[in-house]
């Protein structure tokens, strides 16, 4: 297919912005996480009061970035990036849509200079020979959406995306996908209800409906589950409560510290670069700036911490004993169990009984702050009574959020989101693919998620209060290395997370 003719101004924009993101990749250094230090309390303030022009008033964010993670140069660079968006940004009106074979489109946008930094994505098997929605429902970053329904089957329900203000000419990515289990115990996608209509598998228009459903899944995962859930509703509130309520020499603060540090500076940077007018979210996905703000406001209160815990989540979604294989969930549970064992061992070192824990006024204050700050609270995860088991489950859920969940919904999309021939980020009424600038912005945004960050397998024994705490950190690292060895024995898969892929915390 003949390449579209593009203006020289677009060629210049692309060269400059590709160079910008490659420079940013090379300049990124993993955080060195030292022991916690004291600082002034963090106060929650409406997002719009911290970031002028982002009209979100019902979501509270930190009033300041703590001095020990301020990283002034990184934050200045983030603001410089946002300023450049308004001067000579990476978008240009009126460009032709991308065209050609998927590999050729990717090769054009993900240049050799990009590839010298980070390998190109691998196309998942589920995208070959007709998109296999059932495979994606159990073995992909989107496995979190499958749940039992009232009719006795299973479904993805992404109707929350309906009615959100969109860019002109784009379809709504809201949909409901119905799945059924056949006599052999295999899952199949059977029907999709969307703006296109109600279509059954095999009917004319089915593949278009599949693309629209995947557009909805990747949009929701990026905007709602990742940014709104992990960063704003879960991670930010967890970090605020930990800093405000636990002294620097408290054993729980030391346990949490590798996974708390960096949260506020990361949120500061990504809020500016992704949520400003002309930022990544508005420029890549279907929704306008105003629509994105309203979507975040309307879904913030829906955040459920139990949905982050893969054991609790599987039970809530009714897939724990569904009768078909759930490999992604099984993988997530293996990782969670290693984290919970670490938390249980650690807490047992410092608390001889449930009564000792419940008499720790700092722990009680921390728990109360989380109950107030996290939408829908934390007691349904920790339990109504204060126990060591409940505390271990709660702390493990937060550590899982910062390490595993953040990776799944962030860089875990690397092998999925760039194949827009099957998984578009926008679906136009006239059937045209994403414009050149939208696709290039998508590529660079995903590339930016793969910069070097502090690994979960880092030795954190220096953060311990004493020798027994250091031994607990060391044992956790040994357990993760053993789990990685077991995972290495499995066939490679884009959706599978191993400890060697995970980062210690939420940072940019």
Give residue limits of the domains in the chain: 8-122+212-501, 125-211
Two tokens at 2? 């003949």
What's the CATH fold of domain 8-122+212-501? Lipoxygenase-1; domain 5 (1.20.245)
Nearest to 65 by CA among 35, 83, 45: 45
Concatenating the DSSP letter of every residue in 407-450 gives HHHTGGGHHHHT-TTTS-S--BTT-PPPBHHHHHHHHHHHHHTT
Q: CB count, 10 Å around CB of 151?
A: 9
Contacts of 408 (CB under 8 A, 6+ apart): 141, 332, 497
pLDDT tens, residue order, the chain (508 aa):
455 578 999 999 999 999 999 999 998 889 899 999 999 999 999 999 999 999 999 999 999 999 999 888 888 888 888 888 888 999 999 999 999 999 999 999 999 999 999 999 999 999 998 899 999 999 999 999 999 999 889 999 999 999 999 999 999 999 999 999 988 889 999 999 999 999 999 999 999 999 999 999 999 999 999 999 999 999 999 999 999 999 999 999 999 999 999 999 999 999 998 999 999 999 999 999 999 999 999 999 999 999 999 999 999 999 988 889 999 999 999 999 999 999 999 999 999 999 999 999 999 999 999 999 999 999 999 999 999 999 999 999 999 999 999 999 999 999 999 999 999 999 999 999 999 999 999 999 999 999 999 999 999 999 999 999 999 999 999 999 999 999 999 999 999 999 999 999 998 6
DSSP-based three-state secondary structure for 495: coil
Please, is 40 exposed, middle or buried when counting C-beta atoms within 10 Å of its C-beta (0-12, 13-18, 19+)?
exposed
By residue count, the chain amounts to: 508
pTM for the model stands at 0.97
DSSP-based three-state secondary structure for 190: strand
């Amino acid at each position: 297919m003949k390449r579209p003719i593009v203006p020289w101004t677009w060629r210049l924009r692309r060269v400059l912005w590709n160079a910008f993101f490659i420079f940013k990749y090379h300049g990124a250094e993993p955080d060195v996480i030292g022991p916690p230090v004291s600082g002034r309390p963090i106060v929650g303030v409406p997002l719009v009061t911290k970031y002028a022009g982002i009209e979100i008033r019902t979501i509270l964010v930190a009033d300041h970035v703590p001095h020990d993670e301020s990283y002034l140069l990184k934050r200045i660079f983030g603001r410089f990036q946002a300023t450049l968006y308004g001067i000579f940004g990476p978008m240009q009106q009126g460009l032709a849509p991308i065209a050609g074979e998927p590999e050729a489109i990717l090769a054009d946008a993900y240049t050799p200079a990009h590839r010298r930094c980070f390998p190109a994505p691998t196309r998942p098997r589920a995208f070959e020979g007709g998109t296999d929605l059932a495979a994606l429902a159990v073995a992909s970053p989107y496995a979190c959406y499958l749940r039992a329904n009232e009719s006795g089957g299973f479904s993805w329900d992404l109707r929350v995306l309906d009615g959100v203000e969109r860019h002109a000419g784009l379809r709504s990515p809201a949909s409901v996908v119905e799945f059924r289990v056949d006599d052999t115990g295999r899952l199949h996608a059977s029907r999709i209800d969307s703006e296109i209509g109600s279509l059954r598998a095999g009917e004319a228009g089915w593949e278009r409906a599949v693309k629209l459903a995947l557009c909805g899944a990747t949009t929701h995962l990026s905007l709602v589950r990742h940014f709104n859930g992990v960063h704003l509703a879960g991670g930010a509130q967890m970090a605020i409560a930990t800093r405000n309520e636990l002294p620097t020499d408290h054993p729980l603060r030391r346990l949490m510290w590798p996974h708390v540090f960096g949260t506020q500076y990361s949120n500061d940077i990504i809020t500016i670069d992704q949520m400003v007018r002309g930022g990544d979210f508005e420029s890549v996905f279907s929704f306008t700036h105003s629509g994105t703000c309203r979507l975040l406001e309307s879904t913030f209160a829906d955040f459920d911490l139990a949905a982050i815990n893969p054991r609790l989540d599987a039970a809530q979604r009714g897939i724990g004993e569904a009768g078909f294989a759930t490999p992604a969930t099984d993988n997530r549970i293996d990782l969670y169990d290693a984290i919970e064992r670490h938390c249980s061992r650690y807490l047992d070192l410092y608390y001889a009984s449930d009564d000792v824990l419940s008499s720790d006024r700092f722990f009680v204050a921390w728990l109360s702050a989380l109950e107030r700050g996290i939408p829908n609270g934390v007691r349904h995860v920790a339990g109504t009574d204060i126990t060591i088991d409940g505390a271990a489950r709660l702390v493990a859920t937060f550590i899982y959020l910062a390490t595993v969940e953040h990776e799944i919904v962030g860089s875990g999309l690397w092998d999925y989101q760039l194949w827009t021939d099957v998984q578009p980020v926008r679906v136009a009424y006239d059937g045209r693919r994403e414009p050149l600038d939208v696709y290039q912005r998508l590529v660079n945004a995903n590339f930016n998620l793969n910069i070097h960050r502090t690994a979960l397998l880092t030795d954190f024994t220096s953060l311990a209060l004493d020798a027994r705490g250091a031994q607990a950190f060391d044992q956790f690292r040994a357990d993760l290395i053993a789990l990685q060895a077991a995972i290495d024995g499995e066939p490679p898969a884009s959706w599978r997370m191993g400890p060697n892929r995970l980062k210690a915390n939420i940072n940019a």
